[in-house]
Amino acid sequence: MDQWRKRKLSNFDYLIALNRLAGRSFNDITQYPVMPWILADFTSDNIDLSDSRVYRDLSKPIGALNPDRLAQLLERYKDLELFGFTEAEKFLYGSHYSSPGIILHFLIRQEPFTSMAIDLQSGRFDCPDRLFFDIAASWNSCMTSTSDMKELIPEFFCLPEMYLNTNEFPLGRTQNNRLVDKVGLPPWAKGSPHEFIRIQRLALESENVSRNLHQWIDLIFGYKQRGPEAEAAHNIFHHLSYEGSVDLDKIT
């Protein structure tokens, strides 16, 4: 941590180290490394990384970034007691920021994740509209849907191949007849996965992110995960997603 504070360790490497210390591993999709959405502009022709307006607010979980959606979720949160939920069982977000389904969603074009995704869907690809086909559409879903709270994975910052359908998998067409093939990139990426990765990485290592990344770390790995601090930060997920909520020794 001291090396990171002194800027002798990159933000990317520090996040990888934190994930490892938290027990997350590239060898386990149930505990896969998690990374934050950094940028919030995926529609402009050009992007200025010195402009703070192009960045996501790292002090808030994904579900709290859109105030209108958060208001809906808070209203539902208050009503859960009426349906028999105890105080410990109440939640703001019924879906998580990291799960096996999210990993397979993002890496569906890369084996062995392709085969795992097909197995998950009983031997076929999921509905094309639910596949990962466009960066801006994914961000928009995370900003508007009451059931989409996903953060990113490390590959978003280092694996341009994940955006290409090199193996030419038949992923189908969406309801508006869009072919699901390679992932649609923001205009500022100029159609290049390598350029998208380059800008993503520059954004991750930017001064804006370096000043604020600790706030996201507090939400995911730190003291704002549970309890009053989590409630104040609107960082409350389904109780079964927390360690200790289920006695695994009693499951047969």
Domains of the chain (ranges, CATH numbers): 2-41+69-247 (1.10.1540.10)
What is the arithmetic mean of pLDDT over 92-121? 97
What distance separates the 2 farthest-apart alpha carbons in the chain? Answer: 55
Report pLDDT for 6.
Answer: 85
What is the arithmetic mean of pLDDT over 181-209? 98
Distance CA 80, CA 252 (A): 30
Q: Say yes or no to pLDDT of 247 above 90.
A: no
Four-residue CA torsion sign, 71, 73, 78, 83: positive
pLDDT band with cut points at 50, 70 and 90 for residue 252: low
Mean pLDDT (the chain, rounded): 94
Q: What is the pTM of this model?
A: 0.93
What is the arithmetic mean of pLDDT over 103-124? 97
Please tell me what DSSP assigns to residue 125.
Answer: P
The pLDDT tens digits for 52-77 are 999 999 999 999 999 999 999 999 98
Q: Kind and range of the H or E element at 75?
A: helix 67-79
Report pLDDT for 7.
Answer: 86
The pLDDT tens digits for 30-57 are 999 999 999 999 999 999 999 999 999 9
